[in-house]
Structure 1
């Protein structure tokens, strides 16, 4: 397992790669651009190449994350157009960074109903990926189920991927906090969830795990991340991921709340400790 965390690219991509290494991360995540905006970003290709080389030399895996404010299911023509353009650009940036995947949040049906929202989402994914020939996969992230969010259930995500014209360009990112909040898993149902992942084919397309505890209870349908072991999920349940052989080799990325990134070094060490305890018991 490649334990890591989210890192800022404010000082440039190659600096972010070095910061990840300093924190003891074997994997890390960066935003392709401002997470709250869709303004196009200029890529410093020389800096990107430097970062890619550093990660290759140090065996560090990168996952990219697209901005939050896109909506793959929007019925608004202008937002649809900007969403498609933005995510195409995000894939290009992620590819230049050498990312294994670019995480995108599933659509919101905004009152049009799940069926219509899902149809729009499939169409949008087709439009984004039709001409894309890169190696970086677009990763659909499971949602907590806030408002009209789609993509709560593992089975639904598999159906969305399979309904597209380009399933081979799409993978999955599983968020432990979102899954807990949506009711997809807890300590008691962990084994059942893994079995569902295997039986539906989700597991073979799973590329990354967002590793977060939850500030809010099981099935609350709210997305509120917490530090590992400090929330409603708890260390015991989350440790199940760390010694589950089906997840071996995947980037396990912390998106827990921190005042400064240096705190992640301690939390990554804590994950190693939990993993070690799991294997020695």
Structure 2
């Protein structure tokens, strides 16, 4: 089990890589640029290479996350153009860091309807990926269903991937909080969730899990992360992910609330305790 957490890249990628190791992580996630902006970021090639070499030496897996404000389903031409440019750049940055995948949030149809939003999302993904030949996968993250978000259901995400011209360049990132808040799984239905992932082909393209408890109740469609065991899902429900053999090879990335990254070291230790407990 590749337990890890989100780490700030503000002081550079090499620093973030060393911080991940210091926290006891064997996987970690960084933003490719300011998560609330689309301003192009000049890549520090030397820093990227040093960080990549450090991660390879230490056996640490990396996942990147693209900015929040892109919209793969936007009907606005200016935002569409900015989204395509930004995510193309994100993929190149993620590849330079050696990331297995770059997470992107699914589209919002903003009143145009789910069918139109899904169609636009597929078109946008094609435009982003048509010239990309790198090794980093673009990872579609399931949503909590806030507002006009697309991509709550496993099958919907599988269908979108297969409808693109480049399914081999696309993978998935599963967020435990989002799926719980979307009403897609709870402690009792976890086995059915994993069986659906396997049966639909989703599991074959799953590259990481965002591991979060939920402040909001089941089916609330509110994206509110909470520390493991302190939220509405609870430790017993989340522990099932840690004990599931079909997830054993994946980066398990904590995105839980933390005022200081050192809190993640404590939470990683807690996850190890849950694993040690087994099915108790």
Unaligned runs of 5+ in 2: none
Once the two structures are superposed, residues 67-126 of structure 1 have per-residue CA deviations (whole angstroms, 9 ceiling, x without a partner) of 000000000000000000000000000000000000000000001111000000000000
Root-mean-square deviation (Å)? 0.6
Once the two structures are superposed, residues 222-252 of structure 1 have per-residue CA deviations (whole angstroms, 9 ceiling, x without a partner) of 0000000000000000000000011011000
Once the two structures are superposed, residues 190-246 of structure 1 have per-residue CA deviations (whole angstroms, 9 ceiling, x without a partner) of 000001101100000000000000001000000000000000000000000000011
CA distance in 1, matches of 2:94, 2:276: 32
Partner residue in 2 for 1:135: 135
Partner residue in 2 for 1:82: 82
User: Is residue 267 of structure 1 aligned with residue 252 of structure 2?
Assistant: no
Aligned length: 280
Partner residue in 2 for 1:62: 62
SS of residue paired to 1:209: strand
CA distance in 2, matches of 1:21, 1:30: 14
CA distance in 2, matches of 1:217, 1:90: 33
After TM superposition, the structure 1 = structure 2 runs for residues 89-108 of structure 1, keeping only pairs within 5 Å, are 89-108=89-108
Query: Could you tell me how far 1:259 is from its partner in structure 2?
Result: 0.6
Partner residue in 2 for 1:232: 232
Partner residue in 2 for 1:162: 162
Query: Could you tell me how far 1:276 is from its partner in structure 2?
Result: 1.0
Partner residue in 1 for 2:43: 43
SS of residue paired to 2:274: helix
After TM superposition, the structure 1 = structure 2 runs for residues 218-257 of structure 1, keeping only pairs within 5 Å, are 218-257=218-257
SS of residue paired to 1:43: coil
SS of residue paired to 1:94: helix
Unaligned runs of 5+ in 1: none
User: Is residue 126 of structure 1 aligned with residue 114 of structure 2?
Assistant: no
Partner residue in 1 for 2:53: 53
Partner residue in 2 for 1:278: 278
TM-score when normalising by structure 2: 0.99
SS of residue paired to 1:127: helix
SS of residue paired to 1:47: helix
After TM superposition, the structure 1 = structure 2 runs for residues 180-219 of structure 1, keeping only pairs within 5 Å, are 180-219=180-219
CA distance in 1, matches of 2:215, 2:113: 28
Partner residue in 2 for 1:33: 33
CA distance in 2, matches of 1:153, 1:95: 28
CA distance in 1, matches of 2:217, 2:241: 19
Partner residue in 2 for 1:145: 145
Query: Could you tell me how far 1:253 is from its partner in structure 2?
Result: 0.2
Partner residue in 1 for 2:8: 8
Once the two structures are superposed, residues 153-193 of structure 1 have per-residue CA deviations (whole angstroms, 9 ceiling, x without a partner) of 00000000000000000000000000000011100100000
Partner residue in 1 for 2:117: 117
CA distance in 1, matches of 2:275, 2:126: 39
